[in-house]
Amino acid sequence: MKILQIVPSISLIYGGPSQMVLGLAPALAQEGAEVTILTTDSNGDIGQKPLDVPLNRPIKQDGYEIIYFRCAPFRRYKFSLDLLQWLKHHAQEFDLAHIHALFSPVSSAAAIACRQQKLPYILRPLGTLDPADLRKKKQLKQLYAAIIERQNLAGAAAIHFTSNQEAKISQRFGVSTPDLVIPLGVKEGERRRGGEGENVLRKQFGIPAEIPLVLFMSRIDPKKGLNLLIPALEKLLSIGYKFHFVLAGTNPQDPDYEQKIISQIQNSPLRSHTTITGFVTGELKVSLLQAADLFVLPSYYENFGIAVAEAMVAGTPVVISDQVHICQQVRDSESGWVGATDVQVLVELLQAALQNPEERQRRGLNARQYALQHFSWDAIARQTIQAYQKILTN
């Protein structure tokens, strides 16, 4: 089975949902699929240099291949004439395309090209069909959908949602294309013996062993609910709760908002109880996830919540809003605490978690067990291969 994965960019700047193809591709290859990723060298929309990668030729890695194309002429909108030309000439060599993103010109044009070349394709909207997301640039998106995306959705073999909740609330523009619900996968970080990584990290950040570490690790964006989390943490401090807050993340696409949040913390009682790390990756990221006593993400909408799944696989219980669409899995598996997007509700959830270390430990163990079973890339790849086979035999 020869599969194309088409995604506008896999730069870290665009977050986990775009990067997921780098987890999916090798897992599919392990299941026997031949996988080629088509993407661009886009690395941000506001002045960042393109990715420093070879262009227009396959790069083999981890059992699959990836081809980068120059993002031009519309860099901000991640378009690539070279990618589309390649697809036009090579589409017939593949059995199926899995296209990641809607309302992105390169993905939209790729779907049109697949139809022209009679190549079956799956569309993954990355949360862009969520009514909350559609309200942003509403008129432009309605026009874009009417002219382009409605036909792309109608022509797809399936629409790939990453949670039942995402599928349930998504706008379809009157299209009846079948749903395909497969979650995103996460990779387990290497665990050090005897809490060695946690001890080193706490020493590095000056956090006493007995103080709970509360971690936010995500893009610093208005939708992530930091306007709820910061006042909730301030209230907990005011009533005597002890904790250390780690804010890990950045937002190169909106540096003004990032600076606003940092300034808000620096001018708050939280200042002496907070470490701001910026963007983290590699060993530091894994150490933070494993050392945290609680992972918090009170987002206003999240079509999956890849950072939540990463915390779960690290064995960290989570406190999330009911707008993070794996909230039902968290509830059912008792992997954390879930509540509404409200400051007082968040205060109560955090209180319940902070005052009961034994319950945190129990829910953390549940989280890890559930994530290893349901969010491992091996499990996701098997589900995905079965879906591909079903499409190709229909």
**Phi, psi dihedral angles at 33 (to 5 degrees):** -80, 150
Structural domain including 299 reads: 193-374
Q: Contacts by 357-360 with C-beta closer than 8 Å and gap 24+? A: 357/212, 357/293, 360/212, 360/293, 360/294, 360/317
> What one-character-per-residue DSSP string does 35-100 give?
EEEEEE----SSSPPPP----SS-EEETTEEEEEE--BS-GGGT-BHHHHHHHHHHGGG-SEEEEE
Q: Which residues of the chain have pLDDT under 70?
A: 45, 47, 73-76, 190-197
Q: Does residue 306 sit in the same domain as residue 316?
A: yes
173 and 295 fall within a common domain: no
Residues 267 and 223 in one domain: yes
> For residue 303, what pLDDT is reported?
85
What's the chain's Rg over C-alpha atoms?
21
Structural contact between residues 125 and 99, judged by C-beta atoms closer than 8 angstroms: no
DSSP string, 210-236: TSPEEEEES---GGG-HHHHHHHHHHH
Q: Are residues 129 and 220 in the same domain?
A: no
Strand, coil or helix: what is 318?
A: strand
Residue 315: phi and psi, rounded to 5, are 85, 20
- The answer to whether residues 252 and 364 belong to one domain is yes
Residues 68 and 156 in one domain: yes
Instruction: Report the distance separating Cα 161 and Cα 325, nearest Å.
Output: 10
Please tell me whether residues 128 and 99 are part of one structural domain: yes
pLDDT at residue number 197: 65
Q: Are residues 143 and 245 in the same domain?
A: no
| Distance of alpha carbon 394 from alpha carbon 375, whole angstroms | 27
Pinpoint the alpha helices (H) of the chain: 16-19, 21-30, 81-90, 105-116, 131-134, 138-144, 150-155, 164-169, 196-205, 226-238, 255-266, 282-291, 306-313, 327-333, 343-354, 357-374, 377-393
pLDDT value of position 19: 79
The C-alpha atoms of residue 249 and residue 283 are separated, in whole angstroms, by: 15
Per-residue pLDDT tens over the stretch 100-110? 999 999 999 99
pLDDT in tens, 156-182: 999 999 999 999 999 999 999 999 999
Distance CA 230, CA 245 (A): 10
**pLDDT for the residue numbered 188:** 77
Instruction: Determine the pLDDT at residue 252.
Output: 84
Domain identity same for 110 and 168: yes
CATH classification at residue 347: 3.40.50.2000
Give CA angle at 34 (32, 37), nearest 5°. 135
Domains: count for the chain:
2
| Of residues 315, 253, 299, the one with CA closest to residue 279 | 253
Are residues 323 and 169 in contact, defined by beta-carbon separation less than 8 angstroms? Answer: no
For residues 47 and 39, the answer to whether their CB atoms sit within 8 Å is: no
The upper half-sphere exposure of residue 356, i.e. CA atoms within 13 Å in the direction of its Cβ, equals: 14
List, edge to edge, every strand of the sheet that includes 294-297: 274-278, 244-248, 213-217, 294-297, 318-321, 336-339
- Write down the pLDDT at residue 323: 94
Whether residue 247 sits in one domain with residue 113:
no
- Does 387 lie in the same domain as 292? no
The closest alpha carbon to 66, from 45, 43, 30, 41, belongs to 41
Q: Is the pTM for the entire model greater than 0.85?
A: yes
25 HSE (CA, 13 A, CB side): 25
Looking at residue 14, its pLDDT comes to 77
Same domain, 57 and 104: yes
